[in-house]
Amino acid sequence: MYETVIGLEVHLALSTNSKMFCSCPAESQKNEANTASCPVCLGLPGSLPTINEHAVEKGIMFSLALDCQVPKRTQFHRKHYYYPDQPKNYQISQYDHPVGEHGKLSLSNGRQIGITRCHLEEDAGRLVHPSYVDYSLVDVNRAGTALIEMVTEPEIESSDEAREFLRKIRAIAQALGISDANPEEGKMRADVNISLRKAGEELGTKVEIKNLNSFKSVQRSIEFEIKRQTRILEDGGKIRQDTMGWDDGGQKTYLMRTKEGEADYSYMPEPDLPPLIISQEQIKQIKAKTPELPDSKLARYLELKIKEQDAKQIAIDLHISKFFDEVSTSYSGNSQTIANWLTGDIAGYLNNNQLKIQETKLSPQNLRKLLELIDSKTISGKVAKDILEDVINGHDPAKLVEERALGQISDNSAIIAIAQKVIDDNPELVERVRANPKAINALLGLVMRESKGKANPELVRKTLQDILA
């Protein structure tokens, strides 16, 4: 009945060593409060910002990856608001000359979402509110760390699209190495602008949902707002241009402020930072340094005839795709086999243990060896699955097979001996197999158990058939 119109603003913490405008370390959120500070990020009188060139480079790289135009000249502005988490009471951000403009990103359904702009800015500090006291505390460790903010056109049409868009942005940021883009650690946050309209009508009044820190909350808050706004419109009401927050516990949006309460940021060109001139040469260098993007990986995997579902799952994860590529270059077997393991048992293990592949000791070499042990019929698939956990924990599969004597028994005489024993011990079963040849699986299972899973199952079957024939 109503069409949903969504625009996203995504903030990514840039993975730079130092802050955006001073040389304090950027990764210091977990350190003791206020240890990563200097006159600049404390906003002391007389201090001046200087631009972190690595942050600018990452900003340009990200903009280019989103098909943005990177201007010849980019400039910083001051955005004013009074709040104690911002020592200067203004944030150095970008206004009318951002680092990237007019980009786009394609979704899997073929729709293109326009990227309005990408701009660099500094993050604020953190307020701490101790209990039972009449004050709050400021920790400036995060103040001044580099952020890139990306804003889309109002062209996203559903919560699913929003979620996919965010996943893609995260994948791109990670592939480029510009940001960990990890919402759980606060390295990625999103604001959602959402309005409803009847087909063919002009854009409705939008509501902004601020500071969403998980993909799930983005999705849920959109779904909630669609219902809320639909109800209001159907009752003949009007949507107010409000700013909302998301209550994760109650799974609902709540009013943060009305339009009247909106701050006048009084943007002003930052006089302490002359505009930056970006040369074609610099853009060329950055392009040359740009790592492969997820979409290009996906195309490559599809060419390797990997199932689309698996290819997507691998391509979107920087570490899994890197892992895949490393195994793939040295493994002569079928690429789909690698994909099966990565998206199957390995993914299952990681999921169950809340781990990421890069957090384990699994090496591409060991996975390749494991696959080769199966291919050479040294071990069965079952044994491989049994020892997978140990391989993930850093053990060399070849050594495991040797130490634990897990190699398949392909020696005829050994298998004949076990098979004969099982036949001798189970006359009733033998009778049943004679009546119904399909029942041979019961005998086969016993032989496998007797051999502790090491016997080559094909050989066992053939041997049993021979003896009983």
Partner 1 sequence: MTAHEIVSKIKSKKLSAEELISQALKKAKIVQEKYNAFITIDDKAINKAKELDTKISNGEELGLLAGVPVVVKDNICSKDLRTTAGSKILETFIPPYNATVVERLEAAGAIVIAKANMDEFGMGSSNENSAYGIAKNPWDSSRVPGGSSGGSAIAVATGVVPFALGTDTGGSVRQPASFTGTIGFKPTYGQLSRFGVVAYASSLDQVGVIARSSQDLALAMEAMSSHDKNDSTSIKNTNLEFLKSVASKKDLTSIKIGLIKELCNEGNSDDVLGILQETQKQLEGLGASVETVSLENVRYGIASYYLVAPAEASSNLARYDGMIYSNRVGENSEGQIDIMMKTRGELFGPEVRKRILMGSYALSAGYYDAFYGKALKVRKLIANDFARAFESYDFLMTPTTPSVAYKIGEKTDDPLAMYLDDIDTVLANLVGIPAISLPMGQSKDNLPIGIQFFAPALKDETLLQLSNIIEQNSTNFAPIVKI
Q: Which residues bind partner 1 (CB under 8 A)?
A: 39, 42-51, 78, 80, 82, 84, 87-90, 134-136, 138, 140, 264-268, 271-274
Phi then psi for residue 315, to 5 deg, are -65, -30
Q: CB-wise, 82 or 354, nearer to partner 1? A: 82
DSSP class of residue 200 equals T
Binder of residue 132, out of partner 1, Zn ion, none (CB less than 5 to 8 A by kind) = none
Contact 443, 434 (CB under 8 A): no
Locate 341 and state its tokens. 């393991």
What letter represents residue 366's amino acid?
N
> In a 3-state reduction of DSSP, which class is residue 127?
strand
Locate 25 and state its tokens. 């370390």
Q: CB-wise, 142 or 206, nearer to Zn ion? A: 142
Locate 357 and state its tokens. 């592949």
Q: Is 233 in the site for Zn ion (CB under 5 A)?
A: no
The distance of closest approach from Cβ of residue 87 to partner 1 in the complex, given in angstroms and rounded to an integer, is 5
Task: Give how far the C-alpha of residue 380 lies from the chain's centroid of Cα atoms, to the nearest Å.
Answer: 33
Q: CB-wise, 49 or 59, nearer to partner 1? A: 49
Binder of residue 24, out of partner 1, Zn ion, none (CB less than 5 to 8 A by kind) = Zn ion
Binder of residue 442, out of partner 1, Zn ion, none (CB less than 5 to 8 A by kind) = none
Give kind and range of the element (H or E) at residue 52. Answer: none
Among 5, 12, 22, 316, the residue binding Zn ion under the rule CB under 5 A is: 22
The distance of closest approach from Cβ of residue 9 to partner 1 in the complex, given in angstroms and rounded to an integer, is 19
Q: What is the CA radius of gyration of the chain?
A: 30
CB atoms within 10 A of CB 369: 20
The distance of closest approach from Cβ of residue 44 to partner 1 in the complex, given in angstroms and rounded to an integer, is 7
List of residues 6+ apart from 261 with CB closer than 8 A? none
The distance of closest approach from Cβ of residue 275 to partner 1 in the complex, given in angstroms and rounded to an integer, is 11
Q: Is 196 in the site for Zn ion (CB under 5 A)?
A: no
Residue 78, classified by CB atoms within 10 Å of its CB into exposed (0-12), middle (13-18) or buried (19+), is buried
Binder of residue 41, out of Zn ion, partner 1, none (CB less than 5 to 8 A by kind) = Zn ion
Q: What is the DSSP string of 339-377?
A: HHHIIIIIHHHHHHTT--GGGS---HHHHHHHHHHHHTT
Binder of residue 80, out of Zn ion, partner 1, none (CB less than 5 to 8 A by kind) = partner 1
Binder of residue 439, out of Zn ion, partner 1, none (CB less than 5 to 8 A by kind) = none
Among 33, 38, 293, 468, the residue binding Zn ion under the rule CB under 5 A is: 38
Stretch that binds Zn ion, among 16-24, 230-238, 243-251, 413-421 (CB under 5 A): 16-24
The distance of closest approach from Cβ of residue 236 to partner 1 in the complex, given in angstroms and rounded to an integer, is 33
Stretch that binds Zn ion, among 31-39, 241-249, 423-431, 455-463 (CB under 5 A): 31-39
Q: CB-wise, 63 or 86, nearer to partner 1? A: 86
Helix 318-330 to helix 159-176 angle, to the nearest 10 degrees? 60
N-terminal to C-terminal alpha carbon distance within the chain? 71
Q: Is 190 in the site for Zn ion (CB under 5 A)?
A: no
* Count of residues that interact with Zn ion, criterion CB under 5 A: 5
Binder of residue 87, out of Zn ion, partner 1, none (CB less than 5 to 8 A by kind) = partner 1
The distance of closest approach from Cβ of residue 15 to partner 1 in the complex, given in angstroms and rounded to an integer, is 23
Residues forming a β-bridge with 192: 8, 209
Measure the CA–CA gap between 64 and 10, rounded to whole angstroms.
Answer: 16
